[in-house]
A and B are shown apart, each in its own frame.
Chain A
């Protein structure tokens, strides 16, 4: 988090982490569709020919609440195992992480491996896992062999991280995950840096502004 007190600007970095092909880029694409064009830049995607994220995706989001300008930098990391050094680079300085896992039972080992990798890279990057919020999205729940709602409840009960069910390709659960992460990040920043008291940044006002900019999606038939 950076605060430019002179220009009244706050920059927050959010990172979408998770195993390869779990739907991180799809989340960003859906957010790009949902956020009003005046409040976001172009979605920057650095991908290979096979449409796999090579380096990262970046969706810049910006809006003003009161007199404070908010900048959100929303990144995805490359999920493929070989790109660990890029994952470390992207993760450095993250204020919050959305962990996107494939909700099918067969993908559990990949999710666990990526989760361990996230924790290792957080430690390597000096990100305190006890103060940096992580939310978990279980994606692709429309596919056969996915976790049932009961299983999701059990998974949620096991850990501290909130769990968001999603079918990102249909836009389901994407906004909920994003809003959930942002709310957790602001709550954490307020606890640690008293951004409300010292900078007059009201969490409720920011969340209300953010929700206002997350309109119904455009550009997809039948939605």
Chain B
């Protein structure tokens, strides 16, 4: 059996608090007028309490005689070395004075821990009344002139029956047994607790090491990602810029005249090239936002102007779809400090999204307000409505069910996930909106009713844009 903390065999002093036993012993002695001793299995006294001086007058008298003291010590040694049967009845041991001790084995789980001794007591009645009736061993130890004194001391001692002495020693054993049982519980509780804490610490240390290794791997992955992004930015954009640039040159007639049909083809090449460049930029921004490397600039902005420019950018597309595109920008909005490029991109993405999902003849309205915001914005973050600006893009489009309201902000999410879906797109426009807004300290969310249209809100803290 390998050593486990629960298999330890606690020692006597692990189990009982000797100071407590001493208190019990003293109380016992006061109550029954007899001495009390607790000795360990080797016969060493752990706790001893003597009866009141008047009760042990004879012992004191005898111990004043040199031979008496020796005999007393020898008797005590014999009593303490007694090994009453484990689990058996108490035994008695006689003293040369005529006194007697009662002793019982103290055990735990069938093993001897020690012995409880009660006494000395004067057994039975009547006590000797004459010098001749004194025990011979006592008489031999006391000089003749002092024997009458010895008799007087013996007479003073109170008699205790063997039966009572046995009951008292049984009682003492039961009290100590209860203390030991409580001590065992305490010993194991603290031992197991300490061991559990040690085990937990070991597990935590193990986990910490694993987490540290994982963190290091993540950092390495991040470094690789950043390096990949930088490379891709260059490698993807450079040839695309050439495609767009050469298309422009062809259109400008630098390579000779261009027929009308050719012009149309080149315009398509250029348009698609610019679309692809925009998509690549958005993907890179999404990746940067995910890795927390997006930087926010602070530009003094006229919100009204920003909205107007965004509307101009999307109007051709809206016109093609015969949509009504209007703005409800509060007049006299203060100039605000915000990242111009990001806020413009946010507006363009929201407007592009609204135009895409609104059927012919529908309406798209963009609004901007400062202050006077309602309770919905309170959940936006640790800023109050009065300190915020809110942009909203409302459409009369196809709308969506509640379950999609949050998911549409996840990268590459499509409400219609089929390959044959009606509305094209990579699914990164709204994800970029949320990431840009988040890095500017704000919140983006949507409200919608399927079949009736959607409104996308963006709240930005004025504290960071003023």
**Chain A residues proximal to chain B, CB less than 8 Å:** 1-2, 11, 13, 38, 41-42, 44-46, 55-56, 58, 60, 62, 69, 71, 73, 75, 85-86, 88-90, 92-93, 95, 125-126
0/1 string, B180-204, CB within 8 A of A gives 1 = 0100110011001101100110010
Instruction: Indicate which residue in A38, A86, A93, A126 contacts B7 across the interface (CB closer than 8 Å).
Output: A93
Count of chain B residues with Cβ under 8 Å from any Cβ of A? 23
Report Cα–Cα, A75/B5, bound state, in Å. Answer: 13
Smallest CB gap from B196: residue in A: A85
A89 touches B1 (CB 8 A): no
Smallest CB gap from A59: residue in B: B109
A11 touches B6 (CB 8 A): no
B1 touches A85 (CB 8 A): no
0/1 string, B1-24, CB within 8 A of A gives 1 = 111111100000000000000000
B110 touches A60 (CB 8 A): yes
B108 on the interface (CB 8 Å rule)?
A: yes
A46 shortest CB reach to chain B, Å:
5
Smallest CB gap from B195: residue in A: A89
Could you give 28 example pairs across A and B, Cβ below 8 Å?
A: A2-B1, A13-B1, A44-B184, A45-B185, A46-B188, A55-B193, A56-B6, A56-B188, A62-B110, A69-B110, A71-B110, A73-B7, A75-B6, A85-B195, A85-B196, A86-B192, A88-B199, A89-B4, A89-B5, A89-B6, A89-B199, A90-B4, A92-B2, A92-B6, A93-B1, A93-B2, A93-B3, A126-B2
Report Cα–Cα, A92/B203, bound state, in Å. Answer: 18
Main secondary structure of the interface of B (DSSP, over half): helix
Contacts of B195 in A (CB 8 A): 85, 89
The 9 closest A-B pairs by CB, nearest first: A62-B110, A92-B4, A60-B109, A93-B1, A85-B199, A41-B109, A93-B2, A55-B192, A85-B196
Instruction: Indicate which residue in A56, A62, A126 contacts B192 across the interface (CB closer than 8 Å).
Output: A56
Q: Which residues B34-74 have CB closer than 8 A to chain A?
A: none
Report Cα–Cα, A33/B287, bound state, in Å. Answer: 70
B183 shortest CB reach to chain A, Å:
11
Instruction: Indicate which residue in A1, A2, A44, A125 contacts B185 across the interface (CB closer than 8 Å).
Output: A44
A122 shortest CB reach to chain B, Å:
12
Smallest CB gap from A84: residue in B: B199
B87 on the interface (CB 8 Å rule)?
A: yes
A84 shortest CB reach to chain B, Å:
9
B10 shortest CB reach to chain A, Å:
12
Contacts of A11 in B (CB 8 A): 1
A24 shortest CB reach to chain B, Å:
15
Which of B110, B188, B203 has the most chain A CB within a 10 Å cutoff?
B110
Contacts of A38 in B (CB 8 A): 87
Given A38-B87, A60-B110, A71-B110, residue A93 in contact with residue B189 (CB < 8 A): no
Additional 5 contacts, C-beta under 8 A, given A45-B185, A46-B192: A60-B109, A71-B110, A85-B195, A89-B4, A90-B4
B41 shortest CB reach to chain A, Å:
13
Report Cα–Cα, A75/B1, bound state, in Å. Answer: 14
Report Cα–Cα, A42/B185, bound state, in Å. Answer: 11
Contacts of B2 in A (CB 8 A): 92-93, 125-126
Report Cα–Cα, A62/B9, bound state, in Å. Answer: 15
Given A41-B109, A89-B192, A89-B196, residue A58 in contact with residue B6 (CB < 8 A): yes
Report Cα–Cα, A38/B107, bound state, in Å. Answer: 11
Smallest CB gap from B88: residue in A: A38
